[in-house]
Amino acid sequence: MQVIAQRPKSLRDIPFTYCPGCLHGVAHRLIAESMDELDIRNKTMGVAPVGCSVFAYKFFDCDMAQAAHGRAPAVATGMKRSRPDMCVFTYQGDGDLAAIGTAEIVHAANRGENITVFFVNNAIYGMTGGQMAPTTLPGMKTSTSPYGRDADDIGYPIKASELLATLEAPYYIERVSLLSPQEILKAKKCVHSALKYNKEKRGFTFIEFISTCPTNWGIEPIKSRDWARENMLKFFEIGCFRDKSKTVEGGK
């Protein structure tokens, strides 16, 4: 018998706590597969955020910290500075990273901390039940923007990748989509690159996943991907915003 597909070693054999149709499981798997391929599982530490992925500290098969809301990049800084020999990553949602944790992500990126930040953007607060996120689209209805996000009143969604790309230090910043198998395969390459650069201690790396929230959007999983394609990708453009391996000599 030949094994053709199995759970990556870097994911533990315990059930996810995510809703049916949620893409967190896909994002987790891409990270875990890349950890396996780069053979860094045994010298990697991760930081879980507050949000739907709060239990990520249980899911990855490496040592993990659970951080206060928004503080994951600061916690990761303390970890990386303590163990520069290890790879450190954070996994954060849009409320965690682009609202309450704005200062921490900007300054960790600005210091060029040798960490990888995985940012899952689904334009809504999932865990608390569907409130407006810093990435909620103009006009989009949530439980705290019941008449649709009014950009004149509360501002426009924050484009985290573009914002961080204004800084000098970050080594690699790319926004990817999880909305179709083809896009997931492309995203996988980017996740792998980010962790490879991490392993090689090249600097701060950042992957933004465009994702969905069928439960709180109130749209069934497949249709929610269509909705995201039609609405989110127009505002959050897929692409690479920084890759110093292509601009700096020798990639260092």
Partner 1 sequence: MAQKVLMKGNEAVAEAAIRAGCRLYFAYPITPQSELIEYMAKMMPKVKGTFIQAESEVAAINMVYGASGCGRRVMTSSSSPGISLKMEGLSYIAGAKLPAVVVNIQRGGPGLGDIQPSQADYFQATKGGGHGDYRLIVLAPNSVQEFADMASEAFDLADKYRNPVMLLADGLLGQMMEPVEFKPAKTEEEIEKLNKQHYDWCMRTNEDGDDRHHHEINSLELDPNVLEKHVLSLHEKYKDIQKNEVRYEKINVKDDNEILCVAYGTASRIVKSAITELQKEGHSVGLVRPITVWPYPSEVIANSITKKTKKVIVFELSLGQMVEDVKLAVNGKLPVDFLGRAGGIVFTPDEVIAKIKESL
Please, which residue, 64 or 173, has the CB nearer to partner 1?
64
Please, which residue, 106 or 219, has the CB nearer to partner 1?
106
Q: Using CB under 8 A, list all residues that contact partner 1.
A: 12, 41-43, 45, 47, 54, 57-58, 61-68, 71, 74-83, 85-86, 103-104, 106-107, 111
- In whole angstroms, the minimum distance from the beta carbon of 99 to partner 1 comes to 14
Q: What angle do CA 243, 246, 248 make, to 5 degrees?
A: 95
- In whole angstroms, the minimum distance from the beta carbon of 153 to partner 1 comes to 28
Say which DSSP state 145 is in: B
44, 61 Cβ separation under 8 angstroms: no
Please, which residue, 160 or 232, has the CB nearer to partner 1?
160
Q: From residue 135, how far is each of 61, 103, 194 by CA, in Å? A: 30, 16, 23
- Give residues with Cβ within 8 angstroms of 159, minimum separation 6: 235, 236
Residue type, 15: P
SS3 content of the chain, % helix, strand, coil (to 5): 45, 20, 40
CA atoms within 13 A on the CB side of 207: 29
- Give residues with Cβ within 8 angstroms of 161, minimum separation 6: 119, 173, 174, 175, 206, 208, 236, 241
- In whole angstroms, the minimum distance from the beta carbon of 86 to partner 1 comes to 6
- In whole angstroms, the minimum distance from the beta carbon of 98 to partner 1 comes to 16
- In whole angstroms, the minimum distance from the beta carbon of 188 to partner 1 comes to 24
- In whole angstroms, the minimum distance from the beta carbon of 15 to partner 1 comes to 15
- In whole angstroms, the minimum distance from the beta carbon of 161 to partner 1 comes to 20
Residue type, 209: F
Please, which residue, 42 or 180, has the CB nearer to partner 1?
42
- Give residues with Cβ within 8 angstroms of 246, minimum separation 6: none
Q: How far apart are CA 207 and CA 172, in angstroms?
A: 8
Please, which residue, 62 or 124, has the CB nearer to partner 1?
62
Please, which residue, 58 or 141, has the CB nearer to partner 1?
58
Please, which residue, 63 or 162, has the CB nearer to partner 1?
63
User: Can you read off the two tokens belonging to residue 152?
Assistant: 């004149």
